[in-house]
């Protein structure tokens, strides 16, 4: 399935929700560009998170701005893309919307115990399991955002990708 018009799909959720896995699979299946949000964190931000320190607002803001620049470039080039990023802050989600081309968000949601289990099994990632609680507390409600679909992370990644592609085809 290839897009005839440029689009942006945002896969969001806290650490351990599977957003990178789902995002990569989706982008591969669609033939779209994949933007891994973690790749746009500064070395300082990664070091803070690795040390168990939540991001300072200026670091989070510069990260979102970097993502917005990438999304704007995709929009200008009419290149559809899939972005994986946490989406914790509502105003940052709005910045992403403003930079992206016809964005739709998929929030990968699950309970804290499953997320913690996944994080404990993850290797070679800067985000330690101890940061999960901070992310859960920071995640702002998306109840009034009509362009966000919530998906249950107890389902396998392939099933989540299937649900997203069915949504896109509808």
Return the pLDDT at 6: 57
54 versus 139: which is more confidently predicted? Answer: 139
- Are 155 and 106 spatial neighbours (Cβ–Cβ below 8 Å)? no
Question: 2 pLDDT exceeds 80?
Answer: no
Which residues have CB under 8 Å from 39's CB, separation 6+? none
106 versus 59: which is more confidently predicted? Answer: 106
Return the pLDDT at 24: 97
- Are 86 and 64 spatial neighbours (Cβ–Cβ below 8 Å)? no
Domains in the chain, CATH or no CATH each: 13-169 (3.40.50.300)
Helix locations, the chain, DSSP H: 19-30, 43-50, 57-76, 90-99, 112-121, 132-138, 157-169
Distances in whole angstroms, Cα of residue 58 to Cα of each of 39, 41, 43, 64: 17, 12, 14, 10
Q: Which tens digits make up the pLDDT trace of 32-84?
A: 999 999 899 888 888 887 777 777 788 889 999 999 999 999 999 999 999 99
Return the pLDDT at 161: 97
> Nearest Cα to 99, choosing from 143, 39, 35?
35
């Amino acid at each position: 399935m290839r897009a005839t018009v440029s689009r942006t799909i945002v896969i969001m959720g806290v650490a351990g929700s599977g957003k990178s896995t789902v995002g990569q699979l989706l982008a591969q299946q669609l033939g779209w560009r994949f933007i891994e949000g973690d790749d746009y964190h500064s070395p300082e931000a990664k070091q803070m998170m690795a040390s168990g320190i939540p991001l300072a607002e200026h670091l989070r803001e510069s990260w979102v701005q970097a993502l917005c620049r990438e999304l704007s470039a995709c929009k200008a080039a009419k290149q559809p893309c899939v972005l994986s990023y946490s989406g914790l802050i509502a105003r940052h989600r709005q910045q992403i919307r403003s930079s992206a081309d016809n964005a739709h968000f998929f929030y990968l949601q699950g309970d804290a115990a499953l997320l913690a289990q996944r994080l404990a099994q993850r290797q070679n990632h800067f985000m330690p399991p101890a940061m999960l609680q901070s992310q859960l507390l920071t995640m702002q409600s998306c109840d009034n955002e009509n362009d966000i679909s919530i998906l249950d992370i107890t389902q396998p990644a392939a099933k989540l990708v299937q649900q997203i592609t069915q949504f896109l085809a509808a």
